[in-house]
C-alpha cells in the first residue's frame, strides 16, 4: 500500500501548523527565517509531512534533511500545537527530536540512517525524494555541516560564481592600473 492511501497520510495532508487565525502562517515564517521563496517553503512543508509519515511508519529510525529539520525545529517552537494537537491527534504518537551526541560513530550512524530514510522514502512514496530538499547522504553529512548561519545585516553575501567574477574583474583592473603606471 502506498503511503498516500493511509489514514495517517490523510491526517497529515489536512493538517495546518499553528493557529488558524494567524496573520503570518507557518509556511510564511519558515520562508522568512530561512530566506526561502514561498514556493520552496511550501515544498519543504510537504516534505516535512512525508518525513513525519516515515517516522511513524518506516519501521526504522529516520533522519531528516537539513531543510526538513528546519521545518521540524520551527514546528517544535509551536509547542502547544506540536505536543497537544500534532502528536496526539495527527501522528497519534509522540515524535521526539534528538540531536546527535557527536563523534565518528554518531556521524556514521546518522549517515547510514539518512541513506535508509531516502530508500524508505522512495519505497513508500513511489518516487525519489527531491534532491533540492533531500540531498544525498554525502552532501547532508560531509558538506552541509560546514555551513554557518549568517545575518545578512552583518555581512555581504555574494554567491561563489559572482565572487569569482568580481575577483577576476578586480584582478584585471589592478593589472591594467599597474601596467599604466609602469608605462
Residue range 80-93, pLDDT digits in tens: 999 999 999 999 99
User: Distance between CA 115 and CA 183 in Å, rounded?
Assistant: 61
Instruction: Output the average pLDDT for the chain.
Output: 90
Tens of pLDDT, residues 14-66:
999 988 888 999 999 999 999 999 999 999 999 999 999 999 999 999 999 99
For the chain, percent of residues with pLDDT exceeding 90: 62
pLDDT category of residue 147 using cuts at 50, 70 and 90: low
Look at residue 158 and tell me whether its pLDDT is greater than 90.
no
Cβ(26)–Cβ(40) below 8 Å: no
The reported pLDDT for the residue numbered 131 is 96
- What's the pLDDT score for residue 42? 97
- Mean pLDDT value of segment 62-79: 96
Instruction: Answer whether 0.85 is exceeded by the pTM.
Output: no
Q: Which residue has the cell 528546519?
A: 70
CA atoms of 19 and 78, how far apart (whole Å): 9
Rounded Cα–Cα distance for residues 76 and 73 (Å): 5
Which of these, 18, 118, 103, lies nearest to 68 by C-alpha position? 118
Give residue 146's pLDDT. 64
Helix (H, G, I), strand (E, B) or coil at 183: coil
* C-alpha to C-alpha distance for 26 and 28, rounded to whole angstroms: 5
Please state the rounded mean pLDDT for residues 140-165. Answer: 75
Task: List, as one string, the DSSP characters of 82-113.
Answer: IIIIIIIIIISS---------SHHHHHHHHHH
CA 70 distance to own-chain centroid: 5
Reference 140, options 129, 151, 156; nearest CA is 129
Measure the CA–CA gap between 102 and 45, rounded to whole angstroms. Answer: 27
Hey, where are the domains in the chain?
A: 3-149, 154-183
SS3 76: helix
pLDDT of 114 > 70? The answer is yes
Amino acid at each position: 500500500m502506498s503511503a498516500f492511501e493511509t489514514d495517517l497520510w490523510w491526517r497529515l495532508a489536512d493538517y495546518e501548523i499553528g493557529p488558524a487565525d494567524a496573520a503570518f502562517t507557518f509556511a510564511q515564517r519558515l520562508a522568512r527565517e530561512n530566506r526561502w521563496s514561498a514556493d520552496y517553503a511550501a515544498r519543504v512543508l510537504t516534505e516535512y509531512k512525508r518525513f513525519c509519515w516515515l517516522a511513524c511508519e518506516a519501521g526504522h529510525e529516520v533522519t531528516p534533511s537539513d531543510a526538513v529539520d528546519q521545518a521540524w525545529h520551527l514546528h517544535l517552537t509551536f509547542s502547544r500545537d506540536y505536543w497537544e494537537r500534532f502528536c496526539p491527534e495527527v501522528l497519534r504518537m509522540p515524535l521526539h527530536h534528538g540531536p546527535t551526541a557527536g563523534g565518528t560513530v554518531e556521524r556514521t550512524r546518522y549517515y547510514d540512517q539518512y541513506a535508509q530514510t531516502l530508500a524508505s522514502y522512495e519505497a513508500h512514496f513511489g518516487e525519489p525524494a527531491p534532491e533540492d530538499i533531500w540531498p544525498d547522504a554525502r552532501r547532508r553529512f560531509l558538506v552541509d555541516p560546514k555551513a554557518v548561519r549568517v545575518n545578512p545585516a552583518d555581512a555581504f553575501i555574494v554567491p561563489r560564481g559572482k565572487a569569482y567574477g568580481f575577483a577576476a574583474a578586480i584582478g584585471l583592473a589592478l593589472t591594467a592600473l599597474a601596467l599604466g603606471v609602469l608605462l
